[in-house]
Structure 1
Amino acid sequence: MKDTGRSRRPAATAIPAAALALSLPFIASPSASASTQLPGNAAAKAEAVAGKARPVTDPRLVATEKKQEVLDKVAGQITEGLSESDRARIPGFTEIEVDPDHNSLRLHWKGSPPQRVQRILAHLPQGVTASVLPARYSKADLHAARNKLLRGGKPADLRVAGVSTPIHITSIGPAVDGSGLDITYADALGPHTAAPREPLAPAARKDRSLEVKALTDRLTGINTAASYKAPPTEAPTPTAPAKHPVSASPEVGVTNRQHDAAPWTGGSGLKNPTGGICSSGFGVKNYKGVNMLTTAAHCNGNDGLWRTYLGGDAVGSSDGLAISMTDDVQGIDLPEPQLSGALYDGTAMRLDYYAKPVSGWGHNNVGDYVCEDGANGGVHCNVQISKTDIGVTGENGVYRPIADLAYATSLTSDGIAGVNGDSGAPVFAGANNFTTDEARGTLTSFDRTVNCPADESVSTVTDGWQRTPWCFKGLYYVPIYQTLQDMNWTLVTS
């Protein structure tokens, strides 16, 4: 089973007072997202979201969630409620790690933390421990160095002596311990171009990485670490299965993840204007107070009509206006604008309406456990954040300047972070004993292609009838705060 109540690692829910003050303008009240006269489908959804037939959650996971909630609250106090990127405004701050498994914090700081931070560390909640580790560079230092590798807001191609083709930077991010910048690179490729097989022998690749490091050290003026990482291919390598007809709906008359209906729920299967599968994201209000449903901008393909993946019912349309390529988000205009303020849960092909309400949003910390809620592969939890504040180039060749990176862990039930076709999926953290979801971001790209486990097959993945699924160990997602701020949207909750 992949129902989050059974398989996911707990994640943070609480936002400290300073962060909560920042959050309030971005959270719409339940009354703002639902009509007073609920149609039959809306009433049924409201009853389901209220908590009917929820699986029992492992008490050990609940205990870990509560620890992470406390740790995130302390982290928010130390970082003054600032987002992952904006923490560069704190003098000397480098990074903070939460460790819910050991109920501890690790704070990386250049120089001595100020009295404000020392007072917080001197009065930690009972059972919480913390350590302060010296950092070579602050986050502000690393941001300034990173900017020297950007041209027009995008990574500049690098030229290495003796190499005829340019070297393309695929990601840039501060090292968690503040030792420098972590840089990944590949041969320059065009958008939607599958990465070639590694062209160099191991010894030659090691030498090439040292050459790239020497160049980026010189360009930035600080220590860098360079490693080869071609973007994960978005084209399947296995042979596609024979196509067979797909029914209009998995179960006639039942609203579910693959055949959603108003009020719209996040994590549902969408057929984009060019016919491919993507996931719906969170419900939001634009600056005019109009409800919209989000998905990934790179899913768009061509503005037009979006439909439910099964059944082909009209969901809404996109016109190229409510879109950000750098945040990789697209707002879908809804003829039926009601939103449930909830996210689908469980497996991709679950036949009933099983969803949990979105209770709000939170910032992300290294060490947090989050869940990916894709329409094609279902929910994948116990995915742990390894880095924040990374700039990464997506599979469509567009640079996302602010993203977080998380990987499946030994606690992830099937060992993967997601499946092809999950693009646009909500990323959330379990909250309130896993009865609600806290928004954390929107899936933009995957990392590390791996073999799919047995429970991600042509019969369990939504579009498995059409192609053989392929799976990923890690994922990049754009933090929800960044999207809400840049788009001037508010999050719809229930």
Structure 2
Amino acid sequence: MRANLALLATGAVVLSTALLGTAAQGTSASAEPHGKRTVAVSQVVAKDTLNEMNRQRPLVAAADKIRWQVERGSNAGFAGIGLERDQVVLWWKGEIPGQVQGAIDEARRTAPVRVADARYSLGELKSASARLQGQLRKHPALGHTVKIPTDGSGLVLAADGAGTGGAKIAASPAPWALADAAGVPVRTVEEAPLKERSRDNDSFPWSGGALLKNNGAPNCTSGFGVRNSTGAQFILTAEHCGKAGDRYTNGADAYIGTPGPANDPHDIMLIPTADVDNFMYTGGRGNDERGVRVDGWDWVYPGEVLCQSGVTSAGATGGPVCNLKVLFFYNDSEDLVEAEQTNGQEAARGGDSGGPVYAASANGGAIAKGTVTRSAGARLGFQDFGTAWRDFGIWIDK
């Protein structure tokens, strides 16, 4: 489905720093990594958004206790975890295993947790999604994206209302026909496909949220500065921003590196380089060198509110785009996460691709949540950091 979405690679690159989870919060908020202007996240994120992130922090911490237990086992009944206004909701099909129940009990000491019955497990819905995607490959006019709701109720098929050549689809597919193909209920929504979106002069060691130039042309944003278990250091960004052999530089043409490990379906890529840090630019373009310390990484949950700091959006708004509320996890080959800017503002712009998606940390910094891939108006598609951790074994460099 990727060809139908709008990539954000045009002129920005973001570097990301990762920690395994959020237990280790890093250095003090006043630390100045290599002379860059570090500010508290409260100076970057609007007060109402920061208040919402702070309010959600115990919910995220409680959800993490369950999420890590699910990650450790097969747990075939798991459907999803989401955040509601004042509680965590776990959707599960069938009997909950003892170890998961233990994690739920532990999580409830941090925040309320409601367990709800799911009609289908995540595994069942992934299989159903694959069947439905097979139908879409044969009949592209049916839709462009398959989504899996966290509650395990079925699938959501997004269609843009136009067939090949822009001709309007005469009628939506009958629900029973889609459900028959998938083997589960399918709800159709009409919305435009997301588009890929590909600061100006970062300096060594390389940071997140900075302009990346590919073979001399600005095209993306760095996500985070990361390292793996061998100590090797990388910039994490979007895979669609470049290909093997490309030459990446900063805005002043200082050499950074060439693409290394990548996962094309997940649209994430590592650029090996000599040194990175856990600084992330969050100010505007040009001489605005403000940024925050990245304290670690964490899982993403539907209902969570996040920000993104792509280079192009920074130039347009003077800072990050916030109030991005997580809606869905996709289940096409990219397995992206979808969020929506709750005030109807542009979620991302061309050149934001690869840029950092994040939440506020308890220590005045940021928590890495993912990297920008696509957008359409107020909607954003990004890859979550947990997927990069699985694919590459990386965490925030500190």
Change (3 A) 1:268 1:196: farther
Matched, 1:157 2:125: no
Q: Which residue of 2 aligns with 1:183?
A: 157
What is the CA deviation profile of residues 258-278 of structure 1, one whole-angstrom value per residue up to 9, with x for unaligned ones?
A: 111101110001122262421
Change (3 A) 1:118 1:218: same
Deviation at 1:232, TM superposition (A): 4.0
What is the CA deviation profile of residues 296-350 of structure 1, one whole-angstrom value per residue up to 9, with x for unaligned ones?
A: 12111673222223xx32232325x42221121232243xx22121111123x26
Mapped partners of 2:99, 2:288: distance in 1: 50
Tell me which structure has the larger Cα radius of gyration.
1
Deviation at 1:423, TM superposition (A): 0.7
Change (3 A) 1:126 1:58: farther
Q: Which residue of 1 aligns with 2:253?
A: 313
Mapped partners of 2:117, 2:41: distance in 1: 49
Change (3 A) 1:355 1:232: same
Mapped partners of 2:162, 2:246: distance in 1: 31
Q: Which residue of 1 aligns with 2:125?
A: 142
Change (3 A) 1:80 1:54: closer
Q: Which residue of 1 aligns with 2:326?
A: 385
Q: Which residue of 2 aligns with 1:71?
A: 59
Q: Please, which runs of 5 or more residues in structure 2 have no aligned partner?
A: 1-18, 315-319
Deviation at 1:290, TM superposition (A): 2.6
How many residues get paired? 370
Deviation at 1:407, TM superposition (A): 0.7
What is the CA deviation profile of residues 223-276 of structure 1, one whole-angstrom value per residue up to 9, with x for unaligned ones?
A: 1223454534569xxxxxxxxxxxxxxxxxxxxx31111011100011222624
Matched, 1:431 2:370: no
Mapped partners of 2:143, 2:246: distance in 1: 33
Q: Which residue of 2 aligns with 1:467?
A: none
Matched AA of 2:222: S
Q: Which has the higher contact order (CA 8 A, sep 6+)?
A: 2
Q: Which residue of 1 aligns with 2:317?
A: none
Q: Which residue of 1 aligns with 2:347?
A: 417
Mapped partners of 2:206, 2:362: distance in 1: 23
Q: Is the 8 A contact 2:69 2:100 kept in 1?
A: no
Q: Which residue of 2 aligns with 1:216?
A: 178
SS of alignment partner, residue 281 of structure 1: strand
Q: Is the 8 A contact 2:308 2:322 kept in 1?
A: yes
* Aligned Cα root-mean-square deviation (Å): 3.6
Mapped partners of 1:276, 1:386: distance in 2: 31
Q: Is the 8 A contact 2:325 2:342 kept in 1?
A: yes
Deviation at 1:136, TM superposition (A): 1.6
Q: With the length of structure 1 as denominator, give the TM-score of the two structures.
A: 0.65
Q: Which residue of 2 aligns with 1:405?
A: 338
Change (3 A) 1:137 1:407: same
Q: Which residue of 1 aligns with 2:293?
A: 357
Q: Which residue of 1 aligns with 2:386?
A: 481
Q: Which residue of 2 aligns with 1:492?
A: 396
Match of 2:145 among 168, 171, 174: 171
SS of alignment partner, residue 478 of structure 1: strand
Matched AA of 1:487: F
- 1:449-488 matched pairs, under 5 angstroms: 472-488=377-393
Change (3 A) 1:145 1:54: closer
Mapped partners of 2:41, 2:64: distance in 1: 34
Change (3 A) 1:92 1:313: same
Deviation at 1:385, TM superposition (A): 0.5
